[in-house]
Chains A and B, each alone.
Chain A
Amino acid sequence: MPADPSPAGRHAVQVLRTYPSKTPPFPHALQGERSIARAYTKAVQRARRLIYLEDQYLWAAHVADLLAEALARNPQLHLIAVVSRYPEQNGRLSGPPARIGQQQALDRVRGAGGDRVAVYNVENDAGSPIYVHAKVCIIDDVWASVGSDNMALRSWTHDSELSCAVIDAERDERLPLTRAVSATAPGSSPGSYGCGSGPSISVTTRPTQSWSARSRASASGATRPLSWSAGTATAAAVPARTAAR
């Protein structure tokens, strides 16, 4: 067995997995493994200000209930989700189950969070939808998860999945940015946002409230300032760190 690598960086990284409980069982997971589901459960329950999701599905009732309970419990919590406009399988037989699953999940989340919930899909300049295959979650700019798992009961309990969760306990001193999808502003710099080699949508970035102003506004440093504010005129505002992807 190779030796452990030397410590590097200041972030805590946890590898998470899903294996199903099946017969015959996996020799390394006799009862299956659901550490991805447990990590999401713990992280969402501790969310204070913002849950940002990019996900292929976002359709399980269990996932929706978890998000809805967090939104109902914390009136300061917001949810932004970016999903695909259409399901991967959208035929006469395959489309309705996927659509009704997601509709039920979104109904629960929107019912609990109201206008604190924003769910978007993305398209290119020609208006063609961009299929979102990402599986990313960022909570309060502190906890992030990237992996193969979707926000679905299948990914959390049934399939074989691998994900990494990162906890960043260090304050980010960079100026918060707002990314305005398909918006233009004087002095702004365009960027791109897309999947693979396909067409990209244009985005612009512009500074919002300064870090120092946000720091003063936050309660004595008890909470980390966020790069998202409700009521902005932008089509979609996401945490600044997502720009690094």
Chain B
Amino acid sequence: MNHNPGRVKWWAAWWAVPLFRVGVDPDGRPRALQRAGTY
């Protein structure tokens, strides 16, 4: 069936977004590559 994960409530988004970036899906690249946007 079509997939839709469902919207996160606005009051949860303000902490969920940074938690996602830092803890759930972190960036393991060297700083230089992060700045360059490449791998």
> Which residues of A are interface residues toward B (Cβ below 8 A)?
18, 20-22, 31-32, 34, 37-38, 41, 57, 59-60, 81, 83, 85, 87, 96-103, 106, 118-123, 152-154, 156-159, 235
Give Cα distance in the complex from A103 to B9, angstroms.
Answer: 12
Chain B residue contacts of A34, Cβ below 8 A: 29, 33, 39
Could you name 14 residue pairs across A and B whose Cβ atoms are closer than 8 Å?
A18-B28, A21-B30, A34-B33, A34-B39, A87-B5, A97-B16, A97-B19, A99-B16, A100-B8, A100-B13, A101-B24, A153-B26, A156-B39, A157-B26
- Lowest 8 A-B CB distances belong to which pairs? A158-B28, A20-B28, A96-B16, A97-B20, A157-B28, A37-B39, A34-B39, A119-B3
B26 and A21: CB pair below 8 A?
Answer: no
B27 vs chain A, min Cβ distance (A): 6
Q: In this assembly, does B1 line the interface, its C-beta being within 8 Å of a C-beta of chain A?
A: yes
A120 and B16: CB pair below 8 A?
Answer: no
Chain A residue contacts of B30, Cβ below 8 A: 21, 31-32
A69 vs chain B, min Cβ distance (A): 12
A97-B23, A99-B6, A156-B39 known; A235 vs B1 contact (CB < 8 Å): yes
Give Cα distance in the complex from A118 to B5, angstroms.
Answer: 14
B26 vs chain A, min Cβ distance (A): 5
Chain B residue contacts of A97, Cβ below 8 A: 16-17, 19-20, 23-24
> Which residues of B are interface residues toward A (Cβ below 8 A)?
1-9, 12-13, 15-17, 19-20, 23-30, 33, 39
B20 and A121: CB pair below 8 A?
Answer: no
B2 and A103: CB pair below 8 A?
Answer: no
Q: Which of A99, A100, A158, A159 has the most CB of B within 10 A?
A: A100
Chain B residue contacts of A158, Cβ below 8 A: 26-28
Chain A residue contacts of B29, Cβ below 8 A: 21, 32, 34, 157
Task: Find the A residue at minimum CB distance from B22.
Answer: A97
From A31, A81, A119, A153, B25 is in contact (CB under 8 Å) with A153
B25 and A101: CB pair below 8 A?
Answer: yes
A37-B39, A103-B5, A123-B1 known; A60 vs B28 contact (CB < 8 Å): no
A34-B39, A119-B3, A121-B1 known; A157 vs B16 contact (CB < 8 Å): no
A103 and B7: CB pair below 8 A?
Answer: yes
